[in-house]
Amino acid sequence: MVSTLRRADGGADWDAKAGSLEWTCWETVEHLADDLFAYAAQLGPERPPLDGPVPFLWEPRRPGGPANVTYADRKAGPAGLLQVLEACGAMLAAMVRVTPAEVRAHHVFGASDAEGFAAMGVVETLVHAHDVTQGLGLPWDPPPELCRRVLRRLFPDAPTATPAWATLLWATGRGGLPGRERLTSWRWYGAANGG
Asked if residue 12 belongs to a domain, the reply is yes
**Tally of structural domains, the chain:** 1
Domain membership of residue 132 as a residue range: 2-141
Q: How far is CA 11 from the centre of its chain?
A: 26
Distance CA 158, CA 171 (A): 7
Average pLDDT, the chain: 95
Asked if residue 53 belongs to a domain, the reply is yes
Tell me 182's DSSP state: P
Q: What angle do CA 127, 129, 134 make, to 5 degrees?
A: 100
Residue 193: its pLDDT value, please?
66
164-171 vs 144-154: helix axis angle to the nearest 10?
A: 40
Residue 89: its pLDDT value, please?
98
Asked if residue 44 belongs to a domain, the reply is yes
Element (H, E) at 68: strand 67-68
**pLDDT tens digits along 103-116:** 999 999 889 999 99
Residue 195: its pLDDT value, please?
43
Asked if residue 174 belongs to a domain, the reply is no
pTM for this model (two decimals): 0.94
Asked if residue 170 belongs to a domain, the reply is no
Asked if residue 13 belongs to a domain, the reply is yes
Asked if residue 128 belongs to a domain, the reply is yes
- Looking at residue 129, which CATH number applies to its domain? 1.20.120.450
Distance CA 81, CA 93 (A): 19
